[in-house]
A and B are shown apart, each in its own frame.
Chain A
Amino acid sequence: MGKDDDVGLLILIIDTNPFIWSKYSNTNKSFTNVMEHLIVFINAYLACRHDNKLAVIASHYNESKFIYPTNDVVNVGPRPANAYQQFWQVDNSLVNSLKQLALSDTMEDKEYGYSMISSSLSLALCYINKIIRLNELESIKPRILVLSVSPDSSVQYIPIMNCIFSAQKANIPIDVCKLFDEETIFLQQATHITNGVFQNVEDSSMLLQYLLFSFLPDRSLKSVMVLPDQEQVDLRASCFCHKKIIDIGYVCSVCLSVFCKYSTSCSTCLTNYSLVNMKGKYSNPSSPNLNK
């Protein structure tokens, strides 16, 4: 249980993949609509405690970058007297960075690219580590929230899993808010393993309510408040050789790498399997245990 003087640190990862968002550009699920909801949520989070910390990472199709805080000085003119200083500053910085991100997309990049979720998670974990080390005297309770719109890229399976296990070890919950009905089994696993919240938003005109209900309570309240739970978790893995998501496969007995096809040596740890014991004994591919 957290104490009252725990400072929250929220790392928000926004999936900004333009290939997905462009599909919804003229509906009420458009990027700007969703961002409006998200910004109110960010303000609500900052309102909860004056010292709540925030970082926002854009997970784009070709890069991941921090969009808040940034080093760019944004000049947006004087603050209107109706806006709270902190909200005004964060919101403007965010909107400005998102604009720049959109403008930097060149027309040549027509080929579909997956969102860089794994690198965003790594960035988030590094940032959390840095902040905790910088503020040794305060007790900071970090968490990560991913706003996910794009499907899994099985190429990123290994780095994503590494991030998940690092987060688990560092006791950092990863929450996921899934917006469109794309398949995201890796992120489901992330919430399952790190004890986070997974929320599938069915009606995105109500996104703000979903966000306030499921993702606003900070870590100390997670044991008090009833938060959405996953009924079923898809724990399938992706193979290391062809990056396919598989139900049944071969597992290296030494390094536990997963393969969809049988081979004589492990491509990850270079172990040569002695085939003598293998032949005839194990015909069932679901038990490729090579131990004697």
Chain B
Amino acid sequence: MLYIANSTINNTSESIQGDVSVFLEKLSDEEFQRLYTQPATCLAIFRLLPDLAKQFIMRLLYIKKEVPLEHIKGWCYEQYIDKVNESLRRLYKLHICTKNENDEIRMSTVFQENLNNALIGAGNHTSFGSASTSVDKHKVNIEFLDKHGTEQWEAVLHYMVGANIRKKPSPAVLKLLERSGLMAKKDEDVNDEYKVFNRVDINELQITNKGFQFLLQDVNTQVWAFLIQYLNMVDDLKMDLVEVLNFLFQLGSLQLGADYSVESLTPTQQQMLNDLKHLGIIYQRKRGSKRFYPTRLATSLTSGSMLISKPSTEDSGFIILETNSRLYAYTDSPLQISVLNLFVVLKARFANMVVGMITRDSIRSALNHGITADQIITYLRTHAHPEMKKNMPILPLTVVDQIRLWEMERNRLKDEKSYLYHEFARAEDFQEVLNYAKQFDIVIWSNIRKRMLVVTTEGHSKVRAYIKKRIGSRQSNMHKQQQ
């Protein structure tokens, strides 16, 4: 009666981590205080917080002494006390605020000072990036950067889905893909001599279930998932974690289309430039160039979804889903088509669109890859065509419900450890035990005709003791069997 398929899903969905704040919580106080010396970091972390926590920070920003916890609780209506506690917990975890033994809250002075610096533009930290002083002879415009960023990033994704590989990603990227578990070696048995000569052979890596889920995320989550993996590798690369984080947050505050000078960066950060270049997060015309341009992937790092910040309509949505589960996708990108192929049966392909059907089999095959119904629905919703977005709700309810039902269909069986009692000799014995067990609400299943009874693990000892007591007075042939 054991059903294993579920457990794999849970493991994988947990490990796609596109949220940097969870990563941050692992840092030490000393590291936090060093992080907060950069106003750009303060601002970026501030924006990651829940709305209520932001208000708390702003209210405490100019208060240079302890504030009793009671006062802060008094800022909100009583029924929202959970929200207040949750917000405060986030602030403690990020070491922005500390609580002393008298239940008083104090904000980290480093954070206070540098968030204020960010607001008033004071200080001498150059954390918002120093612009190049000279004019670039090979100046590039925003369209170019968008194209460059998307191309580079999609090249990685293309590689993952194995759709006509034009360019093999750099070794650093391949290593990231493998380390993050998005791709895995196809076969461990590949003979060793072969490996020696081709240390990173592209054919060796194959997309994992986690990789499939990854593809359905929005770009911003994908980029962060990659960067967090990068952060996890920082120690191996002998880089300073705080500097790396500061640089990432700095990138998020830069302006698209402007060029920045490499010179004010630390050696660690210059090394990062090289790595990020391969992901399309920044653009450098040639190696060793004195300037770099952030692409949209970089500037939207700390500002949430890519789709919002992108004004063009062509990328914002291309999927039309009908109530009869038929799907039209206005795209010619092999990447999008192969992503759709994960859960849609494609029927026809035209120059600028593909037509497909969502069927039970197609959804089930996606579910088997560890993709969840919610991920599919979110994907469809975020990529819905602008015409679809005018509908309320955006996706046809029938289809959404059906996808959910198909997922639930796989979870019809629930496993639970239990004990089976059977082969009761007499009907009266069985009835008495059943009645006894029913009193404690521990019966999972019973069948009077077959004289079989299943009880929970907690109830087992009770039932066993009861039967033993009865056997003491009367011989009974009872077998118990664990299943």
State which of A80-88, A108-116, A151-159 sits at the interface with chain B.
A80-88
B119:A44 contact, CB within 8 angstroms: yes
B59:A224 contact, CB within 8 angstroms: no
State which of B8-16, B120-128, B432-440, B475-483 sits at the interface with chain A.
B120-128
Q: How far is the CA of A176 from the CA of B218 in the complex (A)?
A: 40
A48:B54 contact, CB within 8 angstroms: yes
B461 CB-CB contact with A under 8 Å = no
Q: How far is the CB of B441 from chain A (nearest CB, A)?
A: 39
Classify chain A: how many residues form its interface, as a range: 35 or more
Q: How far is the CA of A221 from the CA of B54 in the complex (A)?
A: 11
B119:A4 contact, CB within 8 angstroms: no
Give every chain B residue within 8 A of A218 (Cβ-Cβ).
51
B77 CB-CB contact with A under 8 Å = yes
Q: How far is the CB of B96 from chain A (nearest CB, A)?
A: 14
A213:B253 contact, CB within 8 angstroms: no
Q: Which of B58, B128, B308 is A84 in contact with, Cβ under 8 Å?
A: B128
Give every chain B residue within 8 A of A131 (Cβ-Cβ).
none
A100 CB-CB contact with B under 8 Å = no
A49 CB-CB contact with B under 8 Å = yes
User: Quick one: closest B residue to A211, CB to CB?
Assistant: B58
A47-B43 contact, Cβ under 8 Å, with A84-B128, A216-B55, A224-B83:
yes
User: Quick one: closest A residue to B46, CB to CB?
Assistant: A47
A82:B59 contact, CB within 8 angstroms: no
B129 CB-CB contact with A under 8 Å = yes
B248 CB-CB contact with A under 8 Å = no
A129 CB-CB contact with B under 8 Å = no
Q: Give chain B interface residues in 23-40, CB to chain A under 8 Å.
A: 39-40
A49:B76 contact, CB within 8 angstroms: no
Q: How far is the CA of A44 from the CA of B62 in the complex (A)?
A: 12
A225:B390 contact, CB within 8 angstroms: no
A122 CB-CB contact with B under 8 Å = no
B171 CB-CB contact with A under 8 Å = no
Q: How far is the CA of A136 from the CA of B392 in the complex (A)?
A: 13
Q: Which of A49, A212, A217, A220 is B61 in contact with, Cβ under 8 Å?
A: A212
A47-B62 contact, Cβ under 8 Å, with A4-B51, A82-B128, A137-B389:
no
A224:B308 contact, CB within 8 angstroms: no
B120:A225 contact, CB within 8 angstroms: no
Give every chain B residue within 8 A of A257 (Cβ-Cβ).
none
A78 CB-CB contact with B under 8 Å = yes
B51:A50 contact, CB within 8 angstroms: no
Contact bitstring A59-89, B, C-beta under 8 A = 1, else 0: 0000000000000000000111111110110
B119:A82 contact, CB within 8 angstroms: no
Contact bitstring A214-246, B, C-beta under 8 A = 1, else 0: 001110110111100000000000000000000
Q: Give chain B interface residues in 118-145, CB to chain A under 8 Å.
A: 118-131, 133
Q: Which of B58, B77, B126 is A226 in contact with, Cβ under 8 Å?
A: B77
User: Quick one: closest B residue to A136, CB to CB?
Assistant: B390
B55:A225 contact, CB within 8 angstroms: yes
Q: How far is the CA of A108 from the CA of B242 in the complex (A)?
A: 60
A40 CB-CB contact with B under 8 Å = yes
Q: How far is the CB of A73 from chain B (nearest CB, A)?
A: 16
B194 CB-CB contact with A under 8 Å = no
Contact bitstring B316-343, A, C-beta under 8 A = 1, else 0: 0000000000000000000000000000
User: Quick one: closest B residue to A84, CB to CB?
Assistant: B128
A82:B255 contact, CB within 8 angstroms: no
Q: How far is the CB of A140 from chain B (nearest CB, A)?
A: 12
B80 CB-CB contact with A under 8 Å = yes
Q: Which of B47, B83, B120, B255 is A49 in contact with, Cβ under 8 Å?
A: B47
Classify chain B: how many residues form its interface, as a range: 35 or more
Identify which of A40, A84, A208, A213 gathers the most chain B CB atoms within 10 Å of its CB.
Answer: A84
Q: How far is the CB of A230 from chain B (nearest CB, A)?
A: 18
B308:A209 contact, CB within 8 angstroms: no
Q: Give chain A interface residues in 176-226, CB to chain B under 8 Å.
A: 208-209, 212-213, 216-218, 220-221, 223-226
Q: How far is the CB of B301 from chain A (nearest CB, A)?
A: 10
Give every chain A residue within 8 A of B117 (Cβ-Cβ).
82
Q: Which of B76, B308, B390 is A51 in contact with, Cβ under 8 Å?
A: B308
Contact bitstring A24-47, B, C-beta under 8 A = 1, else 0: 000000000000000010011001
Contact bitstring B236-267, A, C-beta under 8 A = 1, else 0: 00000000000000000111001000001000
A138 CB-CB contact with B under 8 Å = yes
Q: Which of A40, A79, A82 is B127 in contact with, Cβ under 8 Å?
A: A82
Identify which of B54, B83, B125 gathers the most chain A CB atoms within 10 Å of its CB.
Answer: B54
B74 CB-CB contact with A under 8 Å = yes
A81-B130 contact, Cβ under 8 Å, with A88-B121, A209-B62:
yes
Give every chain A residue within 8 A of B59 (Cβ-Cβ).
212-213
B68 CB-CB contact with A under 8 Å = no
B234 CB-CB contact with A under 8 Å = no
Q: How far is the CB of B140 from chain A (nearest CB, A)?
A: 18
B254:A50 contact, CB within 8 angstroms: no
A82:B46 contact, CB within 8 angstroms: no
Q: How far is the CA of A85 from the CA of B399 in the complex (A)?
A: 44
Q: How far is the CA of A40 from the CA of B129 in the complex (A)?
A: 21
Q: How far is the CA of A138 from the CA of B307 in the complex (A)?
A: 11
B75:A226 contact, CB within 8 angstroms: yes
Q: How far is the CB of B73 from chain A (nearest CB, A)?
A: 10
A217:B55 contact, CB within 8 angstroms: yes
Q: Which of A80, A85, A138, A224 is B254 in contact with, Cβ under 8 Å?
A: A85
Q: How far is the CB of B392 from chain A (nearest CB, A)?
A: 11
B109 CB-CB contact with A under 8 Å = no
B58:A212 contact, CB within 8 angstroms: yes
B121:A83 contact, CB within 8 angstroms: yes
Q: Give chain B interface residues in 58-83, CB to chain A under 8 Å.
A: 58-59, 61-62, 74-77, 80, 83
Q: How far is the CB of B118 from chain A (nearest CB, A)?
A: 6
User: Quick one: closest A residue to B40, CB to CB?
Assistant: A84
Give every chain A residue within 8 A of B76 (Cβ-Cβ).
224-226
Q: How far is the CA of A85 from the CA of B299 in the complex (A)?
A: 11
Give every chain A residue within 8 A of B43 (Cβ-Cβ).
47, 84
A-B contact pairs, 8 of them (CB 8 A): A43-B119, A48-B54, A81-B125, A84-B128, A88-B121, A137-B389, A138-B308, A225-B55
Q: Which 7 A-B pairs have the closest CB atoms?
A: A83-B121, A81-B126, A50-B303, A81-B130, A85-B255, A43-B119, A224-B80
Which B residues form the contact surface with A (CB < 8 A)? Answer: 39-40, 43, 46-47, 51-52, 54-55, 58-59, 61-62, 74-77, 80, 83, 117-131, 133, 253-255, 258, 264, 302-304, 308-309, 386, 389-390
A82-B124, A225-B52, A225-B55 known; 9 other A-B pairs, CB under 8 Å? A47-B47, A50-B47, A50-B304, A51-B303, A91-B121, A208-B62, A209-B62, A224-B77, A224-B83
